[in-house]
Amino acid sequence: MIPNKVTLVEVGPRDGLQNEAQPVVAAHKVELVHRLQAAGCCEIEVTSFVSPKWVPQMADNAEVMAGIRRQPGVRYSVLTPNMQGLAAALPTHPHEIVVFGAASEAFSRKNINCGIEESIERFRPVVAAAHAAGLKVRGAVSCALGCPYQGEVTPDAVERVVRLMKAIGVDHCGIADTIGVGTPRRAQAALERALKHYSLSEVSGHFHDTYGQALANIHACLQLGVQVFDTSIAGLGGCPYAKGATGNVATEDVVFMLHGMGIETGLDLDALVDAGAFISGVLGRPPVSRAARALLAKRGLALSAA
Ligand code: HMG
Ligand code: MG
């Protein structure tokens, strides 16, 4: 079942940076996107069209979208939680939009200020309007493996949201472990529920690495044939409404593992390490990625030996 080719959706510019307290100027976000596409990233989640009062770091969404030098073959996506977000996003010409719900009622209220059923009713016209504009719609199911407010989340709760998303026409279903508490068998159980409603190519895993389980979870999902994962350059990020949650699994770490397994990604690991070093430099701290740190150390050694 293990696929020989995997697509990584780079969520660093959005999921990675949304949680940064320090301002990151739009020019640096644009530069990050340029470096990511130069490294071979062909799916990039750029920003989100959410309330700037809720997530100030994404307030420059339109400026960032306008600043990107688009590369053919690269798909740019943005988060749109409601019609207001979609209306603001459409003139910036994304290829895809993302609606984000949750398998936990409590998290849904904290994150998007409404319960699960109501969130689906908010998404319904967003999906229809995005389709009418020719855009693909991804759906994220947050807190699929655990909730910071509610604790345990069952596979039944995950499937309920997956089914609701499918019913309103969401094209792709991402199963998200927002707080990184999932472990491999639980990750498989959640993904299996998504696979009851979506094809293998339209299901993805989005694993935050808070408890260091993300690579193991990805490996477990590969065994189900899952071929799309969200990753974040340098391991940036977290969710403003999930305190203590770290970034998504680092892109560099996932690429190191996949290439080591002989699985194609189309990505250039060295160029990714450069992109991660760039944004980490902007933020004034080293990359969280273990592979990036190791490769940077190796480069340093090579330089000092030369
Ligand atoms: P609300 O307060 O229920 O919305 O927020 P409202 O329609 O009642 O409007 C209230 C105010 O928000 C109004 O402004 C609206 O104009 C404004 P005011 O009159 O008070 O000045 N507003 C907006 N402004 C800009 N863009 C919009 C928008 N909508 C309303 N789209 C809302 C609902 C969803 C907007 C709010 O709760 C929000 O912005 N939440 C932020 C959610 C978020 O970005 N979370 C992080 C991303 S999700 C994530 O990280 C998880 C994921 O990675 C997967 C995983 O790991 O789990 C995807
Ligand atoms: Mg996330």
Ligand 1 touching residue 107 (CB < 6 A): no
Q: How far is the CA of 82 from the centre of ligand 1 (A)?
A: 8
The domain in which residue 47 lies consists of: 7-305
Q: Which mutation among 15, 50, 158 tests ligand 1's pocket best, with the greatest number of atoms within 8 A of CB?
A: 50
Q: Measuring from atom 22 of ligand 1, which residue has the nearest CA? A: 51
- Domain annotation covers residue 2: no
CATH code, 99:
3.20.20.70
Judge contact between 289 and 253, C-beta under 8 A.
yes
Instruction: For residue range 228-240, list pLDDT tens digits in order.
Output: 999 999 999 866 6
What's the number of CA atoms in the CB half-sphere (13 Å) around residue 81? 22
User: Which atom of ligand 1 approaches the CA of 58 most closely?
Assistant: 44
Q: In whole angstroms, what is the distance from residue 33 CA to residue 55 CA?
A: 20
Active site residue ranges: 239
Q: How far is the CA of 55 from the centre of ligand 2 (A)?
A: 14
- Domain annotation covers residue 230: yes
Instruction: Give the pair of three-digit tokens for residue 174.
Output: 């991402």
- Domain annotation covers residue 141: yes
Which residues does 302 contact at the CB level (< 8 Å), separation at least 6?
none
For range 238-252, the mean pLDDT? 81
- Domain annotation covers residue 204: yes
- Domain annotation covers residue 1: no
Q: What is the pTM of this model?
A: 0.97
User: What is the count of structural domains for the chain?
Assistant: 1
Instruction: For residue range 96-146, list pLDDT tens digits in order.
Output: 999 999 999 999 999 999 999 999 999 999 999 999 999 999 999 999 999
